[in-house]
Structure 1
Amino acid sequence: MPTVAVLAFDGISPFHLSVPALVFGRAGIDRPADWPYRLRICAEQPGELATEAGFDITVRYGLEVLDELTGDGSGPADLLIVPSWIRDAVPSAPLLAAIRSAHRRGTRIVGLCLGSWVIAASGLADGRELTTHWSDAERLARAHPAVRVRADLLWSDLGDVITSAGVAAALDCCLHLVRTDLGSRTAAELARRLVLAPHRSGSQAQFVPVAVPAADQDDPIERAMVWASARLAEPIDLDAWARAAALSRRTFTRRFRDRTGTSPQQWLLHQRLDRARLLLETTDDPVERVAGDAGFATAVSLRHHFRQQLGTSPAAHRAQFRTRSLIKN
């Protein structure tokens, strides 16, 4: 079972701590007997910690969960999550050393929201990029000039280092990790339990000026997304798509980007790739049929976009998650 270590600290936000506990530990929702993750909340100094909500929590594990067998037989952490951080707090040298050591052993390091400050302080992102809450991006960039700070993404995944934007984007990031580890079907089933979209395409740029319409207003972009989602297997012409939203092509394209942070074409590509991943994991249909059902003109087109966007092939993706399914059964 992969061990997920979540770092707690004095003054932590209960919400940020609960996100990985909810996704990886399935705290408060049904947990299948074969759920593969083992969750461990740890702290530099185990024991009683204050939260910013006015109540205390007790943490059993220390940083030894990152590199040692614990008393219950769980192994070193496969994933270390830093769920936010206290602004202007300097991570201690022992904490940063433990993070670097875990990274060298192959542990994936995750910073949710302001947790990216700890990742940046560790040096693991020097010469690379991190994502953080849009309101803190400028401060982080000034504090760590060797890091490229992204304020236009919900999350970024470098393979060994994963970071997310703030608050709700932490849920998106954790679901992305489940999707990476266990496949689209498992992530979608978990998202349904959480009453969340299994995959939000776009960027946090849409939240800088709040782009959600007032409750009494119709949202033509939301309507256009539903329209396109029901027609993924069909050719979707941008002009016809704009007409479905009762907008001109130019206005539709502009408002779609304002609403989602991405272009209509890029959003549609991600939806089709998600459909293809699910079909590859849950059916025995040949790749040619999967391509058609997901809206790609040919299997060659599907393979090209799969490789470009996901870094693998449809056949390799199917084999990876089919093997996991056989092992589980």
Structure 2
Amino acid sequence: MSNVSPVESKSTPIAPFSKVVEPLLLLAPAGIWLALLLVIPTLLIFQLSLVPNIKPGDVVNPSGLDNYWRIFQPDILRVVGRSLLFATGTTISCLLLGFPVAYWIAIMAPKRWRNLLLLGFILPLWTSSLLRSYAWISILRPTGVLNTLLATIGLPTLDLLNRTQAVYVGMTYSLLPYMVLILYASLEKLDRQLLEAAADLGATPQQAFWKVTVPQTLPGIAAGTLLVFITGLGDFVNPELLGGNSSMTAARLIYNQFLGATQNWGFGSALSMVLILAVSVAIALLIKYGGEDAKSF
């Protein structure tokens, strides 16, 4: 004869039901938020990307992919290529500048100063990117701070504003703190005993750096590289204010399709979807190869 009471036997089917409902209730607020602010707007952009900009005499592709085929035109590919070039160049410069700084703060700087030094890199992020770009305009313009200083010490002045060099300077300045913070988080967890063991075995500092330090910090390097590349790919302010008309990027082109004189929402939406896809792939790589350093940011 079974020892299970009738009350217990009636309550057992409720347990699996509660295991399904309770997680859904906990995830519902975030799910609704993501659906309203991410999924639905992305679907609307995709729908707009299939709407052609019809003009009298135009032959419309019934598949609705005219806007996507237009991306492969040479002038549009040059704009997309320039965006990739800006993002790649900025990523390389941030890595070359940020790794020595992060290494010095994490390994060589006194512990009592590390938080203060990190705060110094975070402080610019508290200021609007628009204000930071205008500050660089005042520095790089022909009569700005840089040329005034160069003329004072007898050196030739530089014409940097409204050129690609100014865009690289502004983007590197804006994104360098992200690289330094992620690399610092990775270098702080460096196993010092491996460095000591490498020195005991006769390795030079250069050999220890490439064979011990770099392999241990590869997840941080991957996370910082992908994060800076993703942010640089969609940067609008620095190319717009520092690069002039010769530095058209994908973000600026999308802006012109929606709010500029072109007013071609279909093509702007198609270009936005391609940019969203590229960023999504980069984020997937960031999550896969960035490790805990990527997830912490």
Same fold, judged at TM 0.5 (above)? no
Which structure is higher in strand share?
A: 1
What TM-score comes out, normalization by structure 1 length? 0.24
- Higher RCO, Cα 8 Å, sep 6+: 2
Structure with bigger gyration radius: 2
